Amino acid sequence: MAESEDSHRGARAAARLARRAALGALAAELGHDLQGPLNLFRSTTERLERGEPLDAEDASLLREELERLSGINARLRALSRVTMNRERCTPGQLMARALSPDLGPPLPSLDVDLSAAGDFELQGDPALLARALRELLDNALEARRERAGVRFERAEVPCFCVWDDGEGFELEAGAALRFGVTTRDGAAGLGLTLALRAARAHGFRLEFLRRAALTEARLLIVAPGSPGRSY
> How many domains, in total, are found in the chain?
2
- For residue 205, give its domain range: 87-220
Residues 23 and 100 in one domain: no
Q: 21 and 97 share a domain?
A: no
- Residue 230 in domain: no
144 Cβ neighbours under 8 A, 6+ residues apart: 164, 165, 166
Q: Beta strand pairing status for 214-220 and 159-164? A: antiparallel
Q: Indicate if 98 and 35 belong to the same structural domain.
A: no
| Measured distance CA(3)–CA(1) in Å, rounded | 5
The last residue of a domain, from among 51, 80, 109: 80
| pLDDT tens string 95-113 | 999 998 887 777 778 899 9
Residues of the chain scoring pLDDT < 50: 1, 180, 186-188, 225-231
First to last CA, the chain: 38
Residues 211 and 121 in one domain: yes
pLDDT at 116: 94
Q: State the Cα–Cα distance between residues 156 and 42, nearest whole angstrom.
A: 51
pLDDT tens for residues 29-73?
Answer: 778 888 888 999 999 999 999 999 989 999 999 999 999 888 888
Q: Are residues 96 and 182 in the same domain?
A: yes
pTM assigned to the model: 0.67
Cα separation of 209 and 218, whole Å?
8
Residues 103 and 173 in one domain: yes
